[in-house]
Structure 1
Amino acid sequence: MRQIWKSFRALYFASLMMLIGSGLLSTYLALRLAADNVDSLWVGALMAANYFGLVLGGKIGHRLIARVGHIRAYATCAGIVGAAVLGHGLVDWLSAWIVLRVIVGLGMMCQYMVIESWLNEQADANQRGLVFSGYMIASYLGLVLGQLILVMHPELGLELLMLVALCFALCLVPVAMTRRIHPAPLHPAPMEPRFFIKRVPQSLSTVLGAGLIVGSFYGLAPLYASQQGLTTEQVGLFMGSCIFAGLVVQWPLGWLSDRYDRALLIRCFALSLAVAALPLAIMSQVPLEVLFIVGFLCSLVQFCLYPLAVAFSNDHVEGDRRVSLTAMLLVTYGIGASIGPLLAGVVMKLFGSQMLYAFFSLCALVLVWRIRPKAVTNLHQVDDAPLHHVAMPDSMSSSPLVAALDPRVDEQVVQDQMQTTPTETELEPEPETDAETVAQRSSAEDGPPEPLDPDEHPHDLSRARP
């Protein structure tokens, strides 16, 4: 592990500085608007604009990198993001802030793509899991440190915006000074949305729900904490502890995910989130101790949904489609994260700040209703499922290239799939999660189907081949 840190410390440092700046900027803008008594709808719109920019950046970033190369693209985007951050201090017009947030999100996605393509090309196949773990640690640590800066500097002046711009300037240095081989050109992977909607609908539902919840959390939790009477320092500690919960839970989550039914785990975690969020959803004023404890517990659960959905979907998709699957999952997450802050901002404006956690509870209950472990037919389960769980970022701080870092994906298969467009996407795949459709099709072709054994769990891990 020490050798990996030494080999990739420059890219890890770049990721750390980027996430410090990004985490600090999101919380700063929410607190700044709260101090100016701006509607929560505007706060949600700013976070939605950021995620919308990240989704756009996945497409535009490929073209920019292909045209000017990785280092020039990274330097260009770092400069643009830094200028957009400082633009928040020059203009007080909220509509202009939304445009600036789109620019920040778009530029950061391009930066993520450059870093991840570099990690992918320089990492050995048998070390990708450790390489990606280091990348994830740097990302989460950056988000936490970004919140803790507010503890050390609680004044919401222009100094914080200058500090964010400083972080994006520093993240440029290790990439610009690198002596490593320039990464190979990128080849965009087709998403095939119709195929994945039919193949892994429950996973996509979970990813969409996770986007609604986590996007609203990053955008509106600082506003909620501020309206609960917390000072700027306390808001920083609250956000830092919640994000730290997302890092802490990844390792026990991996242990559970590799040993138990992942669909059942998703349903259990969604139900746990619905119950855990109720105290904060019901109480208009919450004691400080209760707020920190319940907020930490809710974060432990909410940050489990996306990684479980990713692992569950990979269990039912062939290796040569996993890059496309990751692109589809991230776009679905981005759509949810763009819509969530807007919806939550509206209900907070109409019914009070506690409606943020009521929104979390409602989204979690919808997932409890939508996820049905007994409906999983395993028609397309891969031979070695359940695949080894790999902890993944819970936010859009990763591009579709992140699938190539997954040690479960063979490097040559990924490269071949990214360089060729599948010709069989027009075929109708067998749905992975609709038992009734399978039974009806069997009845039409072969006569009455044999009755299913009600005692057989259709996703029993003991049936999976080692």
Structure 2
Amino acid sequence: MPSTFASFSSLYFSTLLMLLGSGLLSTYLGLRLSAAGVSEIWMGVLMTAYYVGLVMGASVGHRLIAQVGHIRAFVASAGVVTASVLGHALTSSVEVWMVLRWLVGVAMMCQYMVLESWLNEQAESHQRGRVFAGYMLVTFLGLGLGQLVLTMMPELSVRHIILVAMCSSLCLVPVAVTKRLHPAPLHPAPLEIRLFVKRIPQALATIGVAGLLLGSFYGLAPAYASSVGLDTEHVGVYMAVTIGAGLVAQWPAGWLSDRLDRSRMIQVNAVILTTIALLIALVAWPQMLLLLTALFGLLAFTLYPLAVALANDHVEQEERVLLSAMLLVTFGLGASIGPLLGSVLMKVGGAPMLYVFMACSSLLLVVVVRPERVTGKHLVDEAPIQFMPAAGNLASSPLAAAIDPRVDEQVVIDQMQEEVDVQSQPVDEEDDDHRPA
């Protein structure tokens, strides 16, 4: 692992700075709006705008990178993020903030795509697993460090905005000065909605619920923690403990996942998670909250990678890049809806309703995910597929599949080339059977 970090230090460092700024900004905005007495609904709207931007940014990123190249696309995106972040300091209008959050989401997805395609291009086949794990590690680390900044700077002020803008600007430097070769051009992966809905419904349901949970957590948990009496410093600790627990849980969950039935693990996870979320809604003691939120992080942040592993078990290797795009959209939909629903319930029933909403969301998995419904009809020969850590917060793009060791690099390249060949073939007007739908 140390040699892997050394080899890809510039790309990892850029990722770390990006996520540090992103994690700090989300929590800061939640606390700032809460302190100003702004409706919880607007907090949900802001987080929804961010996730909608992330999902839309996948399409924008493909086009931008194809037109101007990787470094220019990264520079342009970082410029948009920096300007949008600084825009929060120029006005207190939540309507303007909503547009700015959407812009940040679109631009950051472009940055993720540049970094992931670069990692994929430079990673040898034998080190792909370590490269992927290192990428997820710096993702969690950046998000956690962003929360801890609040413990050192507890007074909400424009200094937080300046720090986020600095991170957004400085992440340019490692990419701009890297001596590594530029990656090959990108080709967008189409969605195969019907195929995946029919083949992996339980995995998609789990991904959607994970989006509901984590979108609500990032957008509304700071306001909840503040409402139960935690000051800014301890809100940062509250968020960092949850994210840190999610990081620690990845490897034990992976060890169990490769040995036990994954659908059963998701169901048990959901049962315990429902209980923990209800306890958080009922308990307001700061010491007990830290313990409960750590347990929440252990469970909530492992739902996404468990679902990804379950999905890969039932999807052929050549379809896994398309699967990654499908999972991204599914998670993004959940993460966009979750903050809106959670904020409405908080407005109606008070801050604890956030975790009641989360408990209801995880309860859906108890009902929907049933091991006896997994027929094994589409189980691939190499199943169970190796479990890989995943942040589960859209800190990745459809290209994350390319650096996943479960996807063979040559299969990805052949598939992309085949899509290009098909798109370039003329349509025979006399043969309806070969006409594109």
Instruction: Calculate the TM-score normalised by the size of structure 1.
Output: 0.89
Offset from partner CA, 1:290-340 (integer Å, 9 cap, x none):
111111111111111110000000000000000000110011000000000
Task: Report the equivalent of 1:400.
Answer: 398
The AA in structure 2 aligned to 1:99 is: V
Task: Report the equivalent of 1:47.
Answer: 47
Q: How does 1:30-179 map to 2 (within 5 A)?
A: 30-179=30-179
Structure 1 segments unaligned to the other structure (5+ residues): 424-466
Whether the aligned pair in 2 keeps the contact of 1:189 and 1:417 (CA below 8 Å) is no
- Counterpart pick for 2:329 among 331, 339, 342: 331
1:183 and 2:178 aligned: no
Task: Report the equivalent of 1:341.
Answer: 339
Task: Report the equivalent of 2:274.
Answer: 274
1:417 and 2:415 aligned: yes
Task: Report the equivalent of 1:459.
Answer: none
| Mapped partners of 2:311, 2:206: distance in 1 | 10
The AA in structure 2 aligned to 1:415 is: I
Aligned to 1:343, what secondary structure does the other structure show?
Answer: helix
Alpha-carbon distance, 1:233 to partner: 0.2
Q: How many residues align?
A: 422
Task: Report the equivalent of 2:203.
Answer: 203
Alpha-carbon distance, 1:403 to partner: 0.6
| Mapped partners of 2:307, 2:100: distance in 1 | 31
The AA in structure 2 aligned to 1:304 is: T
Task: Report the equivalent of 1:218.
Answer: 218
Offset from partner CA, 1:342-390 (integer Å, 9 cap, x none):
0000000000100111011100111100001101111110001111111
Alpha-carbon distance, 1:2 to partner: 2.1
Task: Report the equivalent of 1:291.
Answer: 289
Alpha-carbon distance, 1:178 to partner: 1.1
Aligned to 2:372, what secondary structure does the other structure show?
Answer: helix
Aligned to 1:277, what secondary structure does the other structure show?
Answer: helix
The AA in structure 2 aligned to 1:155 is: E
| Mapped partners of 1:282, 1:159: distance in 2 | 35
Whether the aligned pair in 2 keeps the contact of 1:50 and 1:101 (CA below 8 Å) is yes
Indicate the structure with greater helix content. 2
Alpha-carbon distance, 1:420 to partner: 2.4
Alpha-carbon distance, 1:289 to partner: 0.7
| Mapped partners of 1:182, 1:209: distance in 2 | 37
1:363 and 2:369 aligned: no
Aligned to 1:298, what secondary structure does the other structure show?
Answer: helix
| Mapped partners of 2:252, 2:282: distance in 1 | 30
Aligned to 2:399, what secondary structure does the other structure show?
Answer: helix
Task: Report the equivalent of 2:385.
Answer: 387
The AA in structure 1 aligned to 2:389 is: A
Whether the aligned pair in 2 keeps the contact of 1:129 and 1:407 (CA below 8 Å) is yes
Q: Share of identical aligned residues, percent? A: 57
| Mapped partners of 2:225, 2:416: distance in 1 | 44
Runs of 4+ in 1 over 2 A off after TM superposition: 418-423
| Mapped partners of 1:103, 1:143: distance in 2 | 19
| Mapped partners of 2:295, 2:340: distance in 1 | 24
The AA in structure 2 aligned to 1:248 is: V
| Mapped partners of 2:241, 2:2: distance in 1 | 27
The AA in structure 1 aligned to 2:354 is: L
| Mapped partners of 1:88, 1:419: distance in 2 | 43
| Mapped partners of 2:31, 2:407: distance in 1 | 42
| Mapped partners of 1:365, 1:339: distance in 2 | 17
Alpha-carbon distance, 1:421 to partner: 3.5
| Mapped partners of 2:159, 2:389: distance in 1 | 35
Alpha-carbon distance, 1:391 to partner: 1.2
| Mapped partners of 2:180, 2:279: distance in 1 | 52
Q: 1:347 to 1:178 in 2, by over 3 A?
A: same
Offset from partner CA, 1:95-144 (integer Å, 9 cap, x none):
11000000000000000000000000000011111001111111111011
User: What is the root-mean-square deviation of aligned Cα atoms in Å?
Assistant: 1.2
Whether the aligned pair in 2 keeps the contact of 1:211 and 1:337 (CA below 8 Å) is yes
The AA in structure 1 aligned to 2:222 is: P
| Mapped partners of 1:354, 1:371: distance in 2 | 26
Task: Report the equivalent of 1:316.
Answer: 314
Task: Report the equivalent of 2:304.
Answer: 306
Aligned to 2:389, what secondary structure does the other structure show?
Answer: coil
Whether the aligned pair in 2 keeps the contact of 1:25 and 1:161 (CA below 8 Å) is yes
Aligned to 1:183, what secondary structure does the other structure show?
Answer: coil
| Mapped partners of 2:418, 2:102: distance in 1 | 31
- Counterpart pick for 2:373 among 372, 375, 378: 375
Alpha-carbon distance, 1:91 to partner: 1.4
| Mapped partners of 1:135, 1:411: distance in 2 | 17
Aligned to 2:8, what secondary structure does the other structure show?
Answer: helix
> Bigger CA drift: 251-260 or 385-394?
385-394
Whether the aligned pair in 2 keeps the contact of 1:344 and 1:359 (CA below 8 Å) is yes
Alpha-carbon distance, 1:418 to partner: 2.2
The AA in structure 2 aligned to 1:19 is: L
> Bigger CA drift: 274-283 or 333-342?
274-283
Instruction: Calculate the TM-score normalised by the size of structure 2.
Output: 0.95
Alpha-carbon distance, 1:166 to partner: 0.1
The AA in structure 2 aligned to 1:402 is: A
The AA in structure 2 aligned to 1:171 is: C
Task: Report the equivalent of 2:230.
Answer: 230
Alpha-carbon distance, 1:279 to partner: 1.5
Aligned to 1:249, what secondary structure does the other structure show?
Answer: helix
| Mapped partners of 1:392, 1:417: distance in 2 | 24
Structure 2 segments unaligned to the other structure (5+ residues): 423-437
Offset from partner CA, 1:139-164 (integer Å, 9 cap, x none):
11101110010000111111110000
Task: Report the equivalent of 2:254.
Answer: 254
Task: Report the equivalent of 1:458.
Answer: none
| Mapped partners of 1:207, 1:179: distance in 2 | 37
| Mapped partners of 2:391, 2:297: distance in 1 | 14
| Mapped partners of 2:411, 2:193: distance in 1 | 21
Task: Report the equivalent of 1:28.
Answer: 28
| Mapped partners of 2:373, 2:312: distance in 1 | 17
Structure index of larger Rg = 1
| Mapped partners of 2:277, 2:242: distance in 1 | 13
